[in-house]
């Protein structure tokens, strides 16, 4: 009997040892959320091969990827470029299903490292059908309201998360010093102080960093928040003649005083990533600028998130692009870029970088620095614990609350530049009750035009069928008294104007949508038939002109014939905000965050310049009061 008991004890002991061994084998330190962040990163990196590390440094556009690509190449990140969507008019469910399929591929790799998915949510979740489209930054700077921008960030984060995406390439904190630049509408102001204040968007997107948190370390406040990206580092708003991707000639003092302060603030607020600019500083392309990317951003500013390239950014280090890709990769990675947008051919990139590391041209320490930073962001985001998306936030896309917020932003972003010929002849606010009014102009009934670039597609669109929202024409119709007859004629001729007895006219004209280099302009004129419409209508009828544009444009020749002039910038999907202020339900409060020039020959011209002689100066904006009845 004693032998039997001893045998049973032995079996139990062996069984216990086997169970403990299995449990120990199944325990993975880097997957344990109770472990310190540094310990998790160190444990995971100790198990990674060079191929797995380089895979984490790659970001590919979704159109070139399958779940097997994610698994077999250990890909760290995907993105949707402007217009890169799972389906036309895709629903939240279609977005979530697509992203979860890619995530399954990433998690099925040897170490199961989750991927991070990025998108250009630069004025709301602007790639997604039915999402709320907020005013572009050029209008938000006018509000001088950081709290409003923070609330917009929080709303945007909810809509981005609703589609399963965890990473937004925003905010753009460029200081646009020349409106000829095609990206000027992505900038809040020519004044760095306004741009600094608007870094509150980071807190809206990521959550408010706790008071006791370490500074310059990435922060994310839960599953309703997204990782943010401060861009484009650095000086992109100061290029010569406002030419996109061009050279910024600047002293070290001026760089630190004008273009750098917003990055300091964004980093203090825990921004997760920083995107490098296509442009150059004093002849050196930023994608190869080790002194600014590694020594200053990572060293002096102690930024602990990861640095990401722009779309094919390292390809642009040579001319023609991609001419010497090995050189480009060497220069870009050694400069300090951690994650590289290689939207099309990731195999070429990984093969070349592997060879450069094996030849010790790119040190292994540089690869480890990049991967450590990427993993730090992923762990901070909670991706290892919650890698998959769900539909719990689907009803947030374009919800009433967010549209009301966008409408508020539109109201506060409008700038009244002229209101009659003297104080006792003010035209605005307009009476809601009038026998017959005219609405004219190319932009009055075009949702695509009032949203601008980076809306559903990269360059924006024309028409009212791409997403949901309220055109300015429909807003006017909804605001005036039911007895008021509203006539819409996009470009009325003289005979039409003479044959109708209009009480007043609202003319809505401006720029057509554009993005990046396609928006570079040497003349900054409103395209025809805009000027003709202003001339014809305002010459025959008392008129208010509403300008839809991404920047100040040539308006001086027409001002004398206009009774009231409003800068509405690129207001987005909620055109009702324009009518709210035109008709006095709310007063005009916006103040120019950009100098409005008389002639393009004056450019560049910013407040404080010795040759400052504007049509409307920085900070200008007439005000009106709310009127309870009309």
Structure tokens belonging to residue 170: 């925003």
User: Measured between alpha carbons, how far is 16 from 14 in angstroms, rounded to an integer?
Assistant: 5
How far apart CA 199 and CA 187 sit, in angstroms, is 11
Residues 6+ apart with CB under 8 A from 514: 182, 452, 453, 459, 460, 550
CB 116 within 8 A of CB 167: yes
Distances (CA, A) of 459 to 22, 101, 515: 56, 29, 5
Instruction: Give the residue from 345, 352, 274, 282 showing the smallest Cα distance to 310.
Output: 274
Q: With contact defined as beta carbons under 8 Å apart, do 294 and 251 qualify? A: no
Classify the phi-psi angles of 584: left when phi > 0, otherwise alpha if psi is within -120 to 50, otherwise beta: left
Catalytic residue, candidates 338, 516, 574, 580: 516
Measured CA to CA, the distance from residue 217 to residue 535 in angstroms comes to 55
Q: Which residues contact 522 (CB under 8 A, 6 or more apart)?
A: 180, 600
308 phi and psi, to 5 degrees?
-120, 145
Catalytic, 310? Answer yes
> Alpha-carbon distance 433 to 443, whole Å?
23
Active-site residue among 310, 330, 474, 580?
Answer: 310
Closest CA to 395 of 131, 121, 88: 131
Tell me, yes or no, if 516 is annotated catalytic.
Answer: yes
Phi, psi values for residue 462, rounded to 5°? -120, 140
Residue 623, H or E segment: none
Whether 193 contacts 167, CB under 8 Å: no
Q: Residue 308 in contact with residue 273, Cβ under 8 Å?
A: yes
Distance from C-alpha of 293 to C-alpha of 336, rounded to nearest angstrom: 6
Give the span between the Cα atoms of 241 and 231, in whole angstroms. 20
User: What are 176's two structure tokens?
Assistant: 């646009």
Q: Say which residues have a Cβ less than 8 Å from residue 150's Cβ, sequence separation at least 6.
A: 200, 201, 203, 204
Longest dimension (CA), the chain: 118
Contact 501/436 with Cβ under 8 angstroms? yes
**CA 303 – CA 449 distance, rounded (Å):** 38
**DSSP per-residue codes, 284-320:** EEGGG-HIIIIIIIIIIS---SEEE--TTTGGGGSSS
Strand stretches in 280-353, DSSP E: 280-281, 284-285, 306-308, 340-341
DSSP E strand boundaries for 96-191: 116-119, 167-168
| C-alpha to C-alpha distance for 615 and 630, rounded to whole angstroms | 32
Helix, coil or strand: residue 415: strand
d(CA 128, CA 54): 31
Residues annotated catalytic, as ranges = 310, 516
């Amino acid at each position: 009997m004693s032998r039997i008991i001893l045998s049973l004890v032995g079996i139990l002991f062996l069984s216990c040892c086997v169970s403990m061994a299995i449990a120990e084998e199944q325990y993975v330190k880097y997957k344990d959320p109770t472990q310190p962040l540094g310990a998790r990163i160190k444990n995971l990196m100790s198990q990674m091969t060079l191929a797995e590390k380089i895979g984490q440094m790659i970001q590919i556009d979704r159109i070139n990827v399958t779940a097997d690509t994610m698994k077999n190449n250990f890909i760290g990140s995907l993105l949707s470029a402007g217009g890169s969507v799972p389906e036309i008019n895709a629903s939240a469910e279609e977005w979530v299903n697509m992203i979860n399929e890619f995530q399954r591929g990433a998690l099925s790799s040897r170490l199961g490292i989750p991927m991070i998915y990025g998108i250009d949510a630069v004025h709301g979740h602007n790639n997604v059908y039915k999402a709320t489209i907020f005013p572009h930054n050029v209008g938000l700077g006018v509000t001088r309201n950081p709290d409003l921008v923070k609330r917009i960030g929080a709303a945007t984060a909810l809509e981005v998360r609703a589609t399963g995406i965890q990473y937004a390439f925003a905010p753009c904190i460029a200081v646009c010093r020349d409106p000829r630049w095609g990206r000027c509408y992505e900038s809040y102001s020519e004044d760095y102080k306004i741009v600094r204040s608007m870094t509150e968007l980071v807190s809206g997107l990521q959550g408010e960093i706790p008071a006791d948190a370490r500074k310059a370390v990435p922060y994310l406040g839960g599953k309703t928040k997204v990782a943010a990206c401060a861009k484009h580092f650095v000086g992109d708003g100061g290029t010569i003649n406002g030419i996109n991707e061009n050279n910024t000639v600047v002293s070290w003092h001026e760089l630190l005083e004008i273009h750098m302060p917003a990055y300091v603030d964004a980093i203090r607020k825990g921004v997760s990533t920083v995107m490098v600019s296509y442009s150059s500083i004093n002849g050196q392309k930023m994608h190869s600028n080790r002194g600014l990317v590694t020594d200053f951003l990572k060293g002096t500013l102690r930024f602990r998130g990861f640095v990401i390239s722009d779309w094919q950014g390292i390809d642009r280090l040579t001319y023609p692009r991609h001419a010497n890709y090995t050189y480009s990769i060497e220069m870009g990675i050694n400069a300090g870029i951690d994650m590289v947008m290689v939207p099309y051919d990731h195999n070429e990139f990984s093969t070349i970088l592997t060879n450069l590391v094996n030849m010790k041209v790119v040190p292994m320490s540089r690869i480890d620095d990049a991967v450590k930073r990427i993993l730090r962001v992923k762990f901070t985001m909670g991706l290892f614990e919650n890698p998959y998306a769900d539909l719990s936030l689907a009803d947030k896309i374009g919800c009433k609350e967010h549209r009301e917020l966008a409408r508020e932003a539109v109201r506060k972003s409008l700038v009244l530049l002229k209101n009659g010929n003297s104080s006792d002849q003010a035209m605005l606010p307009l009476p809601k009750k009038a026998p017959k009014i005219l609405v004219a102009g190319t932009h009055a009934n075009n949702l695509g035009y009032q949203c601008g670039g980076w809306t559903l597609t990269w360059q924006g669109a024309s028409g009212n069928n791409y997403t949901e929202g309220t055109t300015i024409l429909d807003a006017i119709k909804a605001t005036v008294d039911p007895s008021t007859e509203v006539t819409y004629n996009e470009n009325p001729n003289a005979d039409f104007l003479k044959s109708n007895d209009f009480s007043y006219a609202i003319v809505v004209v401006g720029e057509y949508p554009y993005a990046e280099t396609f928006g570079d302009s040497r003349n900054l004129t409103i395209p025809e038939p805009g000027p003709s419409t202003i001339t014809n209508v305002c010459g025959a009828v008392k008129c208010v002109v509403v300008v839809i544009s991404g920047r100040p444009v040539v308006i001086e020749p027409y001002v004398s014939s206009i009774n009231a002039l409003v800068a509405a910038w690129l207001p987005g999907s909620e055109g009702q905000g324009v009518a709210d202020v035109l008709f006095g339900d709310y007063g005009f409060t916006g103040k120019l965050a950009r100098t409005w020039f008389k002639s393009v020959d004056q450019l560049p011209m910013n407040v404080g310049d010795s040759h400052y002689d504007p049509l409307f100066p920085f900070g200008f904006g007439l005000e009106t009061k709310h009127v309870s009845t009309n």
